[in-house]
Structures are given as C-alpha cells and as structure tokens.
Amino acid sequence: MKEIYLGVDVGSVSTNIVAMDSNKNIVDTLYIRTKGKPIEALKMAFMQIKDRLQRDIEVLGVGTTGSGRHLAAIMLGADIVKNEITAHGVAALNIVPDVKTIIEIGGQDSKIILLRDGIVYDFAMNTVCAAGTGSFLDRQAERLGIPIEEFGTLALKSKSPVRIAGRCAVFAESDMIHKQQLGHNQEDIINGLCEAMARNYLNNLGKGKEIKPPVIFQGGVAANIGIKRAFEKILGCNIIVPKYANVMGAIGACLLAKDEVANTGKTKFLGLDIADSSFNVKSFECERCPNMCEVVEFYRDKKLVARWGDKCGSWGNIQVTQDNEKLA
C-alpha cells in the first residue's frame, strides 16, 4: 500500500491534480481543461486519477488551491484550502530552495512573487484586467488556427522582430490583425506577441520590484518557450522552467496538506470514491433584503452539504445537516 498526498488546483482554465508520496516524490500529475465547469472537470479528473493510481494507495491528506479552491474543498473534504500565491511559493521553494523570483502566468491571473531567505517577501497580481494571460493566448492561437502547444516553437523561428502592443488584449489583437494585413510572417507576429506579453507583465506587475535570479517561470503559460525566451531577453538572466511547471499550484497544495495533516493527525478526505458521487448545484436569488444575494446550494448524492454566496450569513450558517432532515 502506497501512502500519498493529493494536491488539487482548480483554476479558470485548467484543473490539476498532483499525487505525491511521503518523501515528496511526485507519483502522478494530471492536467485537464476546466472548460467553465469546475465540478464536472474535478469529477472527471478524479475518475482518471483513480484509474491510474489503482487501488493500492492510501490518501493521507488533500489540499486545494486555485480560484475554485473552496468548491473543491467541499467536494473532496480538503485538509487545507490555500490561495494560489502561497501555494506557488511553497512549491517553488521545494524545487529551488534559493529561488528569489517567481513568474507565474495562468489562465486568468498573472502573478509575480518575490522571495527572500526562503519566505514570500512581496507579491503582485494583475488587477481587474486579464490582458497577457493564458486565456488570451488561447484565443489568439485559436484565431490563427495554431495548436497552443506549437505557439512557442513557432515564435523561436522568428527572424525579424515585429512589435505588437501589449498593454491591452483588445489593442494587441487589432495590432496583430494590422500586421497580418501588412504581410508580416506569422512567426514574427507570434514572437512579437510573446515579447509584448513579457513586456507588459514586467511593466505592470514588476513595477518598482527588484527581480533577482534565480527566476522560476511556472503556470500553464510556462510551457510556451517563446515567452520564456522573451523574459530571458528582457531580464538578461536564465529562467528556470521546472519539470512540472503547469501543476505547481497543485504541488504547493500537496506540500501544505502534508504539513497540515502532520499537525491534525488525520485527513478529512472523503475518499477516491467521490468520483462516483453525483454533484448538483442549485442557485437562487434571496429576496429577504435589497442585496438580493445569489445563494448557491451544493448537493452531494442529492444531499445538501453546503450553501454559500450570501452576505449576511443567514443561509450559509444554517446547519445544513439539520436543514437536510427537514427537507427530507
């Protein structure tokens, strides 16, 4: 019987699971697209991981992170629920203990995390605008009819630079279209876009920050070698892309879960069989006050297990189990 810890990162674009043994060796990783349906995606992911890990394992702890971390925590019975910044920091420190800068670009978020002496020292996240994140790259790849996986290698083939506006996704797209109509090469345009993204990232998130090596680049976009090269060009230093760059959040969640369970002694995990459970969500607009909160009810196997979304707490705080009996 193999003892493992699970880390789950439910993001806007991808849902990732990492299984790690007690010695922090990674046993298995899984990266699937969330496609706007986090519950289905997580269920699907658990079905796959259950098949792959077979039966001879025991889950000692589970951690969740990502924008869907609270939802995932309720579905799975997580031991720890952590924000992405802490999770990414913990994961990077585990791989490169003296890391000083983490560049993380995901689906909707981009972050810069500065570390000094092995602790998170400063961070910044993109504000309300998602320009220069993975979902924008996805869209451009689709528009150009190129698989996103080939995007980076194409950029490396570029011979002459083409400048693309990077501050805003809408400006970038119209700039790209103009340059296409002028007859520029596709490789050059893609390379221009990669450079624009790196430039925009450093102007926006890196403002006033001291970016020191070692620099780690992680998150889904780290798979794009074109952007890695653009960062190296601007920063003038080597950039480390770890082997499991696209699931680093989940690795962090795993490590945090391991620590947490070491304290609590026992996991709250509901078991791998949750892949076979049915999950339903109902939502309604509460009419008790003018706030009209959008309350969400979460059902596991037709049993109400959680409610959230209200500001006053009168729905969320109700003992759902009691309420459940009443409903039944």
Minimum separation from the CB atom of position 116 to another protein (A): 9
Closer of 60 and 251 to another protein (Cβ): 251
Residues that bind another protein (CB under 8 A): 67, 82-86, 117-125, 127-128, 207-209, 289-294, 311
Closer of 19 and 103 to another protein (Cβ): 103
Closer of 151 and 298 to another protein (Cβ): 298
Minimum separation from the CB atom of position 46 to another protein (A): 22
Geometric angle at alpha carbon 69, from 245 and 249, rounded to 5°: 15
Work out whether the CA dihedral 11, 12, 13, 15 comes out positive or negative.
Answer: positive
Minimum separation from the CB atom of position 109 to another protein (A): 8
Minimum separation from the CB atom of position 298 to another protein (A): 16
Minimum separation from the CB atom of position 199 to another protein (A): 19
Minimum separation from the CB atom of position 75 to another protein (A): 16
Closer of 124 and 168 to another protein (Cβ): 124
Closer of 193 and 250 to another protein (Cβ): 250
Closer of 207 and 243 to another protein (Cβ): 207
